[in-house]
Structure 1
Amino acid sequence: MSKRPLKVALLGCGVVGSEVARLMTTTADDLAARVGAPLELAGIAVRRPNRARDLPVDPALFTTDALSLATRPDVDVVIEVIGGIEPARTLLLAALANGASVVTANKALLAEDGATLHAAAEKHGADLYYEAAVAGAIPLLRPLRESLVGDKVKRVLGIVNGTTNFILDRMDSTGAGFADALDEATALGYAEADPTADIEGFDAAAKAAILAGLAFHTKVTAADVYREGITEVTAADVASAREMNSVVKLLAICELDPVGESVTARVHPAMLPRSHPLAGVREAYNAVFVESEAAGRLMFYGPGAGGAPTASAVLGDLVAVCRNKVNGGRAPAVTSYADLRVGGMGEARTRYHISLDVDDKAGVLAQVALVFADHEVSIQTVRQSGRGDDARLVIATHVATDAALAATVESLRALDTVRAVASVMRVEGE
């Protein structure tokens, strides 16, 4: 192979970065054959260069000067797996300004300031790839970015956080409470020592912003995404879902409104019927359901995190970027040409499952039904069970705006005959 080696700078050498460095070294011949030129690690930026690492790379490659490495004139591609907003943003903008293409797994940065990165890539004629930022090894972003670019995506519905899916799956399969399921996830390495980003939905919200932006060709940031975590999901909620032949999942949902003028993006727990494809996604796996006008329904499934799966996505992007370098081409630009309005949660259309503890006396059901009618929310089913002086009403609604449904719940709380709103859960799927 006579073409000059393409030089790759690696920023970060944690769980994912170590696996990237390992695979680049151990599969060098295959990568060269696929790209059409050899790939060469130019350097690896780390905080502690003298730390012992079991990697088949020259220790002289390690450096603490990430900026100098990212802007070296001979570097063709910069891979960023540091995470966080800064210094990652500064480093990537400097690399792009220097003409280097970028591969990143940084969902937080892309969700906050992806538009700036895309603009810099366009200005300097470089590529920006980030398949590993959402759903680990699952090839999802490139199909949205390229394969479905001739179609009209209407909805993206997915499980994009493995930690929360593991916890909710354990609560469903064993009857465990949230705290016990979280302890098991931590012991098995599925949850971080500080699991806040996962269990409070921040991680999923960042991914939802990226998905919505690609699907609907509109600038969407993490701040635009409605977010609820799973810390308030109880064993009783999961048991109630089981009684309805449903499961509880933390879902990322990105939707185009019926007339195509606005989009909404939200992350929250929801009940899914067990017949829905996403209901069978177990353990720490991820899956995303895409609905488009021409292609119909597509599902992407696989491991959503971990060193090897995420490194697989990084290397896939690396090969694509390097092929473009070899052939003198560029990836299709990602634009927000549609510039649709991003609506709030109140505009989202969903269904509710509501459990009420009420006085067990005549006329209560009529009062409750009147509240739903006042807010123009249609009731789909009602189940009642007696409990001495009180009763439990379980109500499932038809589709309505979230604002109307939330207002209904607040009005129910104000009724003298309602002792408690025991639980409220959104319902998705058919």
Structure 2
Amino acid sequence: MTDAVLPQPAAPPAGAPGRVDRMRTGLKRRYARERRFKLYGLLAIGVAVGFLLLLLGRIVEQGHTAFYAHTVTVPVYMDPARVDRAYPQGTNFELLAAEQALARLGLADDAEGTKSQAMRGLFSSELKFIAADRVQRQPELIGRTVPIAAPLSDDADLYFKGEISLDTPAEQRRLSDEQIGWLERMRAEGQIESHFNSALFTKGDSTEPELAGVLGAVIGSALMLLVTAVIAIPLGVGAALYLEEFAPKGRLTNLIEVNINNLAAVPSIIYGLLGLALFINWMHLPRASPLVGGLVLALMALPTIIIATRSSLKAVPPSIRQAALAVGASRTQTVFQHTLPLAMPGVMTGAIISMAHALGETAPLLLIGMVSFVPGVPHGLTEPTGALPSLVYIWENASERAFHERTAAAILVLLAFMVVMNAAAVVLRRRFERRW
């Protein structure tokens, strides 16, 4: 029996090796381009993350000192000859504490009272109100020595935070060598303590940096966002539903869609001018109030909410609508009982992101009067108030050096609000989103 003859492979056609080599060379080039493209993408992401970390690091570096403060405890003898029993607030407790602090250090004041005034400059004006409040509540303290704990002045506080140094020439700093020596002696005696600066979150704005807080601005921003949400979300969702589900397609609808997209790109300062002309000059609503601020921010948020809602409605499969209509549901029932509930995660995400964007706007708030100093905390929608973005603007332009650290602290608070809102949008989308 003869062995089977195996078929021999056919000889490659002429020129085939050259084509194979060219194909391999082309593949190598393509893979090299893909690797370079990925590398460029990673490099771009790295640069963006690097700049973000640099920005956040600079803000944290400048603002972390605002989250702690220094308090001085001064024993004050409530001299009956100088304390006004009927009206303690009229007593100059700051000068009284300064004179007695000098005496405990073994120093005598001069005829002009220069040293007592210098010592007085180390104490915050809050000392006067704290002492007066204690005397008013406990009149029996008059004639006794009472320890009064009060914040240090902004310059003294900056010295203990390392912002003022003896190495700096005396004419270039606001604390003299003598004042710094007094501070060191008081710290050595245990009169000065460092603690968490709760006043930053429990007080409103103030002309004195050591007493300034963000509470008024936080409440003002919250009230504005409340007005914005109440107005913009229902109107935006309703407009999107009509345009996407009910409006007949035609030139008018296309014109409206184009204008909505254009309004989303209008600079925010234009909305501020519109709010100034419409809500303040024409409707005579209270200037710098959360009501006016919320109305202006609602105008800004409307295009974003409409666009996000329409995109969410388009993402719902047409089969859902067809199935609902097939079993006898009306057009309205189909939209509100089937389409809108399925699109709600995207609607909520768009609404929250638009609110977060409105929270960080500054230009329109400045144009409606939120650039002025407003102490205290607002208690209504028509009272003058500040907002976190405008507070950052005001503090950064203040002349006192201690306001600069509080500016960075206010930016961190604002960023925390925006991170929380954006995180809520992500959680809601992942929690309720459906894959089709």
Give the structure-1-normalised TM-score: 0.23
Q: Which has the higher Rg, Structure 1 or Structure 2?
A: 2
More helix by share: 2
Give the structure-2-normalised TM-score: 0.23
Structure with more relative contact order (C-alpha pairs < 8 Å, separation 6 or more): 2
More strand by share: 1
